[in-house]
A = this chain, B = another copy of it.
Amino acid sequence: MSQPAPTAAILIIGDEILSGRTRDANMHHLAGKLTEKGIRLREVRVIPDEHATIVATVRALAAAHDHLFTSGGIGPTHDDITADAVAEAMGAPIEVREDARALLAAHYAKTGSTLNEARLRMARIPEGATLIDNPVSAAPGFTLGNVHVMAGVPSVFQAMVEGLLPRLTGGDPVLSETLRLSRPEGDVAADLGRIAGSFDDLSFGSYPFIRDGVYGTHLVVRGTDAARLAAAVAALRTAFPDAA
């Protein structure tokens, strides 16, 4: 039984990415996990830590896709405004929730820190949201409607993704095959275009690379039907017998 792939967007919230100070790692990590799960990532946006911008972008992306995953802005400081902005975007009230407060209290009791007013902000969870477990530093993420709100610190983000993804329904996994050619793209474009045109249900990508001054090309075919994928790879191997 074929299961159409749900669609998704990722929203990275953070001035530090836009300024070039920090190199985002979460987009690439989650992109790979979504592909494995059969969820089709359609769009990524990176925006600044601004309330109105977050609200408007969350509304647009949550309406356009089956899932929206956010990264960043759920810590204890003044620039951590994601939870409140998502609550506003989704029309949900938000306040300190007892289940989240209890998680934080237990964590800080264990580590010998105090659950001060700043940290208590991390227990602000919109009404109706489901918590996303944070096995690294306790402060939870949450799912509200189709929006999954997670931390920006990569180790925490990745742990949250591990906890969240098993709860989501994927589609048929996208299968892919890669052929490597020691020839520049321009030499293979005509045959590749012809073959791609005869497999409308698959997607064909061509990715040039330069290694030690030599031009090469990776051909990537993607689709959900293994037999069609095999037929396309056979056609490519006939056209490009030198492919590795």
Enumerate chain A interface residues (CB-CB to B < 8 A).
12, 15-24, 27-28, 30-35, 41-49, 75-80, 113, 116-119, 121-122, 136-137, 153, 155, 174, 176, 184-190, 192-193, 196-197, 203-210, 215, 220, 222
Cβ–Cβ < 8 Å partners of A44 in chain B = 12, 17-18, 44-46
B residues near A43, Cβ cutoff 8 Å: 18, 45-47
Sampled A-B contacts (26; CB under 8 Å): A15-B203, A16-B220, A18-B31, A18-B41, A19-B31, A19-B41, A20-B28, A20-B30, A21-B220, A22-B207, A24-B27, A27-B46, A42-B48, A75-B185, A75-B186, A77-B188, A77-B189, A77-B193, A78-B204, A79-B206, A80-B206, A117-B190, A119-B189, A121-B189, A137-B210, A155-B210
Q: Taking CB as reference atom, which chain B residue is nearest A122?
A: B186
* Chain B residues within 8 Å of A117, by CB: 190
- Given the contacts A44-B46, A189-B77, A24 and B28 also touching, CB distance less than 8 Å: yes
The interface residues of chain B lying within 8 Å CB-to-CB of A79 are 196, 204-206
Contact across chains for B33 and A20 when beta carbons are under 8 A apart: yes
Residues of B within 8 Å of A203, CB to CB, are 15
Most-contacted residue by chain B among A79, A80, A121, A197 (CB, 10 A)? A79
Majority secondary structure of chain A interface residues (helix, strand, loop or mixed): mixed
What is the chain B residue whose CB lies nearest that of A209? B153
Give bound CA distance, A180 to B121, whole Å: 23
Beta-carbon nearest neighbor of A33 in chain B: B20
7 additional A-B pairs beyond A118-B189, A137-B210, beta carbons within 8 Å, are A15-B205, A16-B220, A20-B32, A20-B33, A45-B45, A76-B189, A118-B185
Of B19, B46, B186, B188, which contacts A222 at CB under 8 A? Answer: B19
Question: Roughly how many angstroms separate A16 CA and B28 CA in the complex, as a whole number?
Answer: 10
Q: How far is the CB of A104 from chain B (nearest CB, A)?
A: 9
Complex Cα gap A22–B233 (Å): 20
Contacts of A192 in B (CB 8 A): 77-78
Question: Are B20 and A35 within 8 A (Cβ)?
Answer: yes
Residue in B closest to A72 when the chains form the complex, CB atoms: B207
CB distance from A215 to the nearest CB of B (A): 8
